């Protein structure tokens, strides 16, 4: 398999970045090889220009290049003999020797990791109440295709925005679509929620569809606002606060869509904290995401079927009440009072039965409304989260690859070519300089891509850490499910007990 296609940074056992002649040196974070790599990467100067005159024939020292997979803990030895060469260090960078075996404290590293994950988890509270309300505006624009407008209201003062009495803006579905596209560009390795589907033509007049889409849009924007990274994005806040038409604003405004890794360098602290088990956990989650979604979808589907059955029960009880009422009108003809006056007592009890059917029908209506308005959304929100995690897995597979292996081999080939040019006066100096600058450019690209890969690793670990907090959504959903069913089962049981007691007086004999 081609190395480029097989370069899976989250595969803890991948040899995709290994060269054919490399020897494998299994390591962990505490092994000397990993510590040396981390220290060397930390000293890299990412701002060195490509035309500087570095030593070692004009390119960065071999042992400053992070050649092996930074995702694969089966690390490979670096090229180059010894570690006595150093790279150029910018004025604001310092060589960090904390990764030296003498100074590395495993307990301190574990404590740092615990503090890091705890801090991230505290930034995400999925059980918090929604702060965005979306209502559909009845008037629709357009002649053939009607565009539904939505009133988007935030209930609290948003970050980096001035307090305002009017906290509402009007948005279209296309505005939500634009916002999600922006978030995908800026944060490709974050859990970006999905949007409800778009329909065109007469389907947009379907009230059931429009209601579901409005609820879906509400789940989308509230998930964005609960995300510790997305909720402070300037364009998210613009979406929620700029009162002008967003389409017109987008045509006039200038805004940045570059991703969050631009001009960012990985920290040595994170590199020290990294453990192979993180990659294994991520891969296990990726392997079961489809199964998890299928199972949760079926759970939610059964809940919705219960909602439909409750609705059907309301219709049946109303019909039952009508039938009992009609039957009470014909019973005196079947059982003339002159023959037996007990039929009057039976007919009087029919009123009690009708009252029971009316009351239990109202209880079923309340149950259906609570299931639809309060319970089902708590199950559906977890579906949205699983879907956003699966989309993150898919984007990672497409966007996280790099060509470090190819560049490293290209560097080695050009190094050999450069060596062969030495001492040959018939070759022009311009050709020598050209090859030398190609090597510099390739090595610089290796450094930048390695840095990006580490940043992706950190970003995904942050998202996976945040995702762990969503397990409490499962708890809340089933707690509310049990409570709702218990409450309404009690109300229904109480009505049945009352009916049994009240029908005991119905005549069962002539005496």
Q: What are phi and psi of 77, to 5 degrees?
A: -65, 145
pLDDT value of residue 60: 32
pLDDT value of residue 146: 63
- In the 3-class helix/strand/coil scheme, how is 189-251 assigned residue by residue? CCCCCCCCCCCCHHHHHCHHHHHHHHHHHHHHHHHHHHCCCHHHCHHHHHHHHCCCCHHHHHH
pLDDT tens per residue across span 477-510: 999 999 999 999 999 999 999 999 999 988 888 7
- Considering only 130-144, 234-248, 276-290, which range has the smallest mean pLDDT? 130-144
pLDDT tens per residue across span 49-72: 333 334 333 333 333 333 333 344
pLDDT tens per residue across span 354-366: 999 999 999 999 9
pLDDT value of residue 468: 96
* pLDDT surpasses 80 at 46: no
Confidence of residue 79 (pLDDT cuts 50, 70, 90): very low
pLDDT tens per residue across span 314-334: 999 999 999 999 999 999 889
Pairing of strands 168-172, 132-141: unpaired
pLDDT tens per residue across span 383-403: 999 999 999 999 999 998 889
Across the chain, mean pLDDT equals: 79
Q: What are phi and psi of 359, to 5 degrees?
A: -65, -45
The CATH class of the 307-504 domain is mainly alpha
Mean predicted confidence (pLDDT) in 266-293 = 92
Confidence of residue 343 (pLDDT cuts 50, 70, 90): confident
Give residue limits of the domains in the chain.
132-245, 307-504
pLDDT value of residue 43: 44
Structure tokens belonging to residue 365: 């209506």
Identify the CATH homologous superfamily for domain 132-245: Phox-like domain (3.30.1520.10)
pLDDT tens per residue across span 170-184: 999 999 999 999 999
Torsion of CA 110, 460, 465, 73, to 10 degrees: -30
Which CA distances in Å does 339 have to 329, 335, 336, 344?
Answer: 17, 7, 5, 12
**Stronger pLDDT, 33 or 145, i.e. the higher one:** 145
Mean predicted confidence (pLDDT) in 151-163 = 82
40: left (phi over 0), alpha (psi -120 to 50) or beta: alpha
Could you give the CA distance from residue 421 to residue 239 in angstroms, rounded to a whole number?
Answer: 59
**Stronger pLDDT, 253 or 108, i.e. the higher one:** 253
Work out the percent of the chain whose per-residue pLDDT is above 70.
75
pLDDT value of residue 162: 67
Could you give the CA distance from residue 91 to residue 488 in angstroms, rounded to a whole number?
Answer: 70
Q: Which of 71, 69, 78, 217 is nearest to 137 (CA)?
A: 217
Structure tokens belonging to residue 300: 């939610």
- Considering only 14-23, 350-359, 417-426, which range has the smallest mean pLDDT? 14-23
Could you give the CA distance from residue 272 to residue 112 in angstroms, rounded to a whole number?
Answer: 9
* pLDDT surpasses 50 at 301: yes
Q: Which of 226, 96, 259, 210 is nearest to 154 (CA)?
A: 226
β-partners of residue 278 are: none
pLDDT value of residue 119: 94
Mean predicted confidence (pLDDT) in 424-448 = 86
Confidence of residue 139 (pLDDT cuts 50, 70, 90): low
* pLDDT surpasses 80 at 511: no
């Amino acid at each position: 398999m081609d190395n480029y296609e097989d370069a899976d940074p989250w595969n803890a056992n991948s040899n995709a970045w290994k060269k054919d002649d490399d020897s494998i040196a299994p390591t962990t974070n505490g092994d000397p090889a990993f510590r040396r790599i981390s220290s060397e990467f930390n000293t890299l100067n990412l701002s060195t220009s490509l035309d500087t005159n570095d030593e070692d024939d004009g390119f960065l020292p071999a042992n400053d290049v992070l050649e092996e997979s930074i995702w694969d803990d089966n690390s490979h030895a670096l090229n180059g003999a010894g570690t006595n060469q150093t790279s150029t260090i910018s004025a604001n960078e310092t060589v960090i020797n904390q990764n030296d075996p003498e100074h590395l404290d495993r307990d301190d590293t574990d404590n740092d990791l615990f503090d890091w994950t705890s801090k991230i988890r505290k930034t995400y509270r999925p059980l918090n109440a929604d702060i965005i309300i979306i209502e559909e505006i009845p008037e629709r624009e357009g002649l053939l295709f009607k565009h539904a407008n939505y009133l988007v209201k935030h209930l609290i003062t948003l970050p980096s925005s001035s307090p305002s009495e009017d906290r509402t803006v009007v948005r279209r579905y296309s505005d939500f679509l634009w916002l999600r596209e922006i978030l995908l560009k800026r944060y490709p390795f974050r859990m970006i929620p999905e949007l409800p589907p778009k329909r065109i033509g007469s389907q947009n007049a379907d009230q059931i569809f429009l209601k579901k889409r409005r609820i879906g849009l509400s789940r989308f924007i509230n998930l964005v606002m609960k995300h510790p990274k997305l909720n402070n994005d300037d364009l998210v806040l613009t979406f929620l606060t700029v009162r002008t038409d967003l389409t017109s604003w987008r045509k006039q405004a200038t805004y940045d869509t570059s991703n969050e890794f631009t001009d960012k360098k990985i920290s040595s602290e994170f590199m020290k904290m990294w453990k192979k088990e993180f990659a294994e956990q991520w891969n296990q989650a990726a392997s079961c995401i489809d199964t998890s979604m299928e199972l949760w979808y079926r759970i939610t589907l059964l809940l919705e079927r219960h909602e439909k059955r409750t609705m059907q029960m309301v219709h049946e009880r109303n019909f039952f009440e009508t039938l009992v009422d009609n039957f009470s009108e014909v019973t005196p003809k079947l059982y003339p009072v002159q023959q037996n006056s007990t039929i009057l007592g039976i007919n009087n009890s029919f009123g009690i039965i009708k009252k029971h059917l009316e009351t239990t029908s109202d209880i079923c209506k309340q149950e259906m409304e609570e299931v639809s308005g309060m319970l089902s959304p708590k199950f559906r929100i977890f579906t949205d989260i699983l879907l956003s995690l699966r989309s993150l897995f898919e984007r990672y597979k497409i966007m996280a690859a790099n060509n470090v292996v190819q560049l490293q081999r290209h560097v080695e080939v050009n190094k050999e070519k450069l060596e062969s040019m030495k001492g040959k006066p018939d070759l022009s100096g311009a050709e020598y300089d050209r090859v030398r600058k190609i090597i510099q450019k390739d090595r610089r690209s290796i450094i930048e891509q390695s840095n990006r890969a580490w940043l992706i690793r950190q970003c995904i670990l942050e998202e996976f850490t945040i995702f762990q907090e969503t397990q409490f959504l499962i708890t809340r959903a089933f707690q509310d499910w049990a409570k709702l069913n218990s409450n309404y089962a009690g109300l229904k049981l109480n009505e049945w007990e009352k009916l049994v007691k009240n029908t005991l007086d119905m005549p069962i004999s002539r005496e």
